[in-house]
A and B are shown apart, each in its own frame.
Chain A
Amino acid sequence: MQCLFTSLYTSLAQQLPRESMEWRRSYGRAPKMIHLEANFVQFKEELLPKDGNRALLTFPFLHIYWTDCCDTEMYKASVKDDMLRWQSTLRLHGSVDWLIVVVESEAKKKNKTNILPRTSIVDKIRNDFCNKQSDRCVVLSDPLKESSRSQDSWSAFLTKLRTLLLMSFTKNLGRFEDDMRTLREKRTEPGWSFCDYFMVQEELAFVFEMLQQFEDALVQYDELDALFTQYVLNFGAGDGANWLGSFCAPVKRWSGLLLRRPIDMEKRELIQRGEASLLDLRSYLFSRQCTLLIFLQRPWEVTQRALELLHNCVQELRLLEVYVVQGALDCWVFLSCLEVLHRIEGCCDRAQLEANCSHTVGLWTYATEKLKSLGYLCGLVAEKVPTSEDLNRTVDLLAGLGEERPETVNSLQSPYKKLNEALSSVEAFEKHYLELSHAAMEMYRAIGRMRSARLIGKSLAEFYMKKGDPERAEGFLDDSLRSYVAEGWSLQVTHTRKQMAECQKLLQQTEDYLQTSALLAGDANLTEEERKHFCQEILTFASQPPAPSGEHTHTTVALSMAAFAQLRQMQFSPPGAVVHVGAALQLELRVRCLMPVAMQVEQLAATLHFSLEQGGARGRAGSAQRRTGQGPQGQGDGVVLFPQGSPLAGAGMGALLPPALELYEMQDRSPSDSSLTSTGVVCKNMHLLLRRHDSSASLDTPTAGALPAAVAVDDGAQMLRARDITLQPGDNSILFTAPTGEPGSYTLRQLCGSVGRVQFVQSHIYPVVQYEVYSQEPQLTIEPLSDNLLAGIPQKVKFTIATGHYSVKKGDALQLSNTDSMPILHSSCCSATVLSKRMGESALSIQSSEKVTSISLPPTPPYHTLEFQLEVLCHIPPTPFKPDIERLTNGEVRHRPKSHSHADSGMINIDQKVSIDCPWSIYSTLIALTFYVPFKAKHSILSAGKRKYIQVCLQNVSDTNFHLADPVLTERQPTVSMELLSLNVKKQQPVCSQQSVFCLWEMRWAKPLPLCLQCAFSASFAPVSASDTHTAFKPYRYEFQLDRVSTLYSLKAEILPPSGDQHCRTGALCGLEVSITRQAEPSETEGEEEESTEIEGLRTTKLMYEVVDNSSNWAVCGKSSGVVSMPVAASATHRVQMEVMPLFAGHLPFPNIKVFKYLPHNAVPAIQPDTDSCLENDTISLLDKGLDDQGDTASIRSRGSVHSVGSGEQQRGLPMPRLEPFSPGQVFYWSQGRQVLVLPVTDDHVMEVNVT
């Protein structure tokens, strides 16, 4: 028997797993293809499982009876009995999984030829044992031969074997699982043990593992894991299970995970015995999970689970209140981390590892942390050697590690060795710690987790600080600090900065240390005491005398102002920030001091940048427009607000949030024709917006290089300075007096506060703060007090002197050149007013000499306004004005007062120039004043026959009401013969605005009057409002000339009704008889003027008459005009008869009759006579005696005139005889205003009027 199986075993063991089988599973689990592998053991009864033994691993799934019996006798004799016995044993143990294999061989058959082929052994066996299961018996023919038959039988056998094996396995596994579940359900019963259950379920896991079903195996472990975790949690919640007690035992060993063996039998046995600690159990569980995961090619899950496990174990131990030696867990975690990492490294190549840093870095960091805390615990992180207490602790910890595992004894880098070494000495610890830290940092950097890297860097820095190695710490601290500042995490900033301060103090980087101290002193995150401490550090340094050695060349230290104080606002007073030279300009600076205590600042100075600007330099008006350079925050009231960062102490906020855009409109015009070429928007604060973010933080970081070179404050520059001020914590107000010595624009550049040796410097002030100083020339203006200055009466004018940069000294005077036309009136109550913030009045003394009036001014400081009033009188020049040019005292040609008619009011104005010598100038100032003449005068001569009257009309054209008195008319060259008889009222009369007054005089003369009379009208006038009527009356004079006053001719017209009729009737012709009578012999002068011809000793003058009826009352029939020759003799009369027809009935006025001088000889006639009237001339029938037309025309011709009155010889376009009107008064028309009654003709028409 044995030899039969042995001969077959090799091929059987080889061939069984060769083909896969489909494994159908219960509970709806997916079927899988598996390869079966079996372990064949010789049958022994004691191997059969007893009841309750569920060891699945050693379970006999299939019992096979091998026989090569081919002899019936032999079968009957022994084999059958043997089989029966076997069967009964199996049945006894409830095993139904069996198989009988009959091995046939040709060789044997040949030997037993007598065997009846009818009933073979196989049939017999089947008959005997396999009642219904005929498949339980198989034949394997010639298994050792290489024949096709043999092959087939092998194949059939193997299939059968696999099927049966799997069937049995499935059945038993199912039973096992059921049992396991039942066991699990009993977990609430007392006496249930997790360890026992663990073993059961792990069995299942093993089986799965054996079947290469790692997934399923893992599930078993995960279930166990979860179950255990749940128990721990329940324990934490107060629901403790008894069995958990064993896990609560104090941890005695902390040797870490062991992942190098597939199964850690040591631990497993501990669990089996119920002696495992929590760490043992966890370690074992994880090692199994790890193994399976690595089988499953999921190494990164291992790292992730490892981290979870480690965290979890720490938590669980805490939850279960298990006593652990201090540091033991750290050891365990450290070892475990490294073990996991080693394990992973063992199964992955380098490239894979590097690509998956993110999975391992957590473990690295964790290990680093743990090593660090171990180091601190064991006194390895210090400058001095560990104490004996530390050493004891170290020894205790190392004892807990136990012996090194045999697997790693030979490896140089085992976690065990590392830990041992690291804890052995300070140097070794440093080496290992740095190695780990750098490895972790590198990995973090590689995967871009910069913050995590920096955090490790920071803890490295802490380590270095502990080791007394600040040089190396500095870099890490600086790096971290920068990032915290940049991202605005104030608490971290404060914390790191504190460490930084410590570091810098050790490094004796005084400047940096002070800067950091300043920042910390102003840090709101710190306590008052801490802030005071740092503040004191600065103050202590500040009060120290400078280092005596020449090593430090600079005795002062410049720090950034930002840490010390924040600018809040600046306010100018006066708010315009534009002042004149030397004026007081104050600048109030509001500063928030960030220091916790009051600071004594010896000097707070702002350097000024001075630039001479053309606009501001000269002649700037007082109300200069504001400069635009004060930024958007600059408000109208001279306040410049500084943008504030967020309330967070970290200045990083400001850096992160970009400042708001400051946009301005920009226009680009071409220089030639100023047309717009381009327009756009300009961002003014681009330098702030576009600067790099990391560099923006540099303003606040203490190590950010040296402050600008401008820190060395140039003392020669202009400065705003405030000395010895105390800045209280919080808002302070500091008053500066700005220098205004020179005109130009001043810009604040740098602010610097000095506290002892320390200077706080702000290198830029933004927004730009500037002010302007201008210089102004003195100015004199004269303006009337009223709207219009009136000539003739005293008027007040206001003198205004803007002193500008000139200071009016005592004795300075204005010199006004006197003119006759405008004297300056002295009045006693003259006073000058100095306008400034306070009104000041002082008396004004006026002295007059012949040529000049001198006004001495009161002393006035520069940039003040001096005002006074003066009364002046502009004489009204007699009309018409005569040109007169005078020379002024200073030799200038004096412009005569120009007068011309005022367009609007009809007033005549006079431009009066005043020449003034001012004390501040060598040149005279010419100022024009315009006066208006209030009156307009007209004259006219009125006649009544030979009597003559002169009328003067005086019109008040001003807006003022006047009194008029004493109108007098005089002859300028008085002739005795003439007398002017006033017909006017004696008393004064009012002349209201825009009204007129008429005055009348009668002329009486004895001798003939001269041709030309020079008359002068004069009157006195005063404004109605004038108080003192007597002195207020001022003269008005109007001169005029009268020509040809006496009456030469009188005209008389008579309308005669048609003969036989009493009255004129309409439509009927009436006679018009005009008689022209010579009134007087012309005087000699007149005679010369008058054209006369002498014919036959008789002097005659020619007159032309004309009948004009403008009102269409009359129709002139026949000729309406004609020329008559009048003898030059008194009372010579000429009569002219004409026919006129009245067109209307009623009292009709007489038609007008005009008489002209007829001057036939002139080439260019003054007045073109009507052609109409000329044509009628030939029908003129002259009634006069000796004058015939012929002679007349001949005389015309004889004078060379080509004009002929006669129709035949008339030549057009040639000079005509000239007509000249008589002066008013020379012709007197008697019939002026006469009317004649005209009756209507007998009316033939019937007007029907119906009255109803």
Chain B
Amino acid sequence: MAVCIAVIAKENYPLYIRSVPIQNELKFHYTVHTSLDVVEEKISAVGKAMADQRELYLGLLYPTEDYKVYGCVTNSKVKFVIVADSSNTSLRDNEIRSMFRKLHNSFTDVMCNPFYNPGDTIQSKAFDSMVSAMMVQAS
């Protein structure tokens, strides 16, 4: 499962970022932040040609020695980034996709909350627990 899950606003500031507690949080922040480069690149590369297809999933953004970073972008340019451990080889593309789908659904719920101010950091408990379920359980 994921070791770090982030939701990034259209303006590229983090709306939500959570990583496995045992590891260096800062490193994940750097990783996720850097991955925005690739996200932007992919979005602009996709450009008009892919706009119709509405493929939100961006696939593997970039691998590092230890992690694989996957990305997904909503129509409103909110980005989801999932960082998975490279050693976790059982993780298939389909599972990543379904994780993104879940993440998106939960995010939509958060946005539907009339008390949520779009642009604020996400503090929803439901979202949090959903993310927890997708994260590697720190044993």
Contact = CB atoms under 8 A, between A and B. Distances in A.
B33 A318 contact: no
Given A451-B33, A451-B34, A455-B34, A311 B41 contact: no
A901 interface: no
B124 interface: no
Interface residues of A, number: 35
Interface stretch (B57-65, B75-83, B125-133): B57-65
A177 B6 CA distance: 49
A652 interface: yes
B14 A452 contact: no
B37 A452 contact: yes
B20 interface: no
Contact of B14 (A447, A488, A657): A488
Contacts of A314: 65
Nearest to B15: A488
B87 A362 contact: no
A444 B36 CA distance: 13
Interface stretch (A341-349, A489-497, A512-520): A489-497
Contacts of A484: 33
B139 interface: no
B41 A489 contact: no
Nearest to A329: B65
Contacts of B34: 451-452, 455
A307 B63 contact: yes
A455 B37 CA distance: 11
Contacts of B64: 311
A311 B65 CA distance: 5
B101 to A, nearest CB: 26
A646 interface: yes
B36 to A, nearest CB: 6
A450 B37 contact: yes
Given A311-B63, A315-B87, A646-B120, A488 B37 contact: no
A318 B13 contact: no
B13 A448 contact: no
A455 B13 contact: no
Given A451-B34, A452-B34, A487 B13 contact: yes
B98 interface: no
A492 B63 contact: no
B26 interface: yes
B41 A492 contact: no
A1113 B64 CA distance: 131
B45 to A, nearest CB: 10
A648 B119 CA distance: 12
A194 B33 CA distance: 42
B41 A449 contact: yes
A451 B14 contact: no
B74 interface: no
Interface of A, secondary structure class, is: helix
B29 interface: yes
Interface of B, secondary structure class, is: mixed
A487 B12 contact: yes
Interface in B1-57: 11-14, 25-26, 29-30, 33-34, 36-38, 40-41
Contacts of B86: 311, 315
A276 B64 CA distance: 27
A491 B119 contact: no
Contact of A491 (B26, B36, B120): B26
A319 B89 CA distance: 11
A656 interface: yes
B106 interface: no
Interface string B88-124: 0100000000000000000000000000000111000
A761 interface: no
Contacts of B121: 646-648
A728 B42 CA distance: 49
Nearest to A369: B65
A656 B30 contact: no
A366 B63 CA distance: 11
B37 A489 contact: no
B29 A491 contact: yes
Interface string A612-655: 00000000000000000000000000000000001110001100
A52 B89 CA distance: 38
A487 B65 contact: no
A366 B66 CA distance: 12
A1090 interface: no
A233 interface: yes
Contact of B26 (A492, A652, A657): A492
Given A307-B63, A308-B63, A311-B63, A489 B14 contact: yes
A311 B60 CA distance: 14
B116 to A, nearest CB: 14
Nearest to B68: A311
A488 B41 contact: no
A487 B65 CA distance: 26
A319 to B, nearest CB: 7
A656 B37 contact: no
Contacts of A444: 37
Nearest to B86: A315
A653 B36 CA distance: 17
Nearest to A318: B87
Contacts of B25: 491
7 contacts: A310-B65, A448-B41, A451-B37, A488-B11, A489-B33, A491-B26, A647-B121
Given A310-B65, A488-B11, A491-B26, 4 more contacts: A366-B65, A646-B120, A646-B121, A648-B121
Interface of B: 11-14, 25-26, 29-30, 33-34, 36-38, 40-41, 62-65, 86-87, 89, 119-121
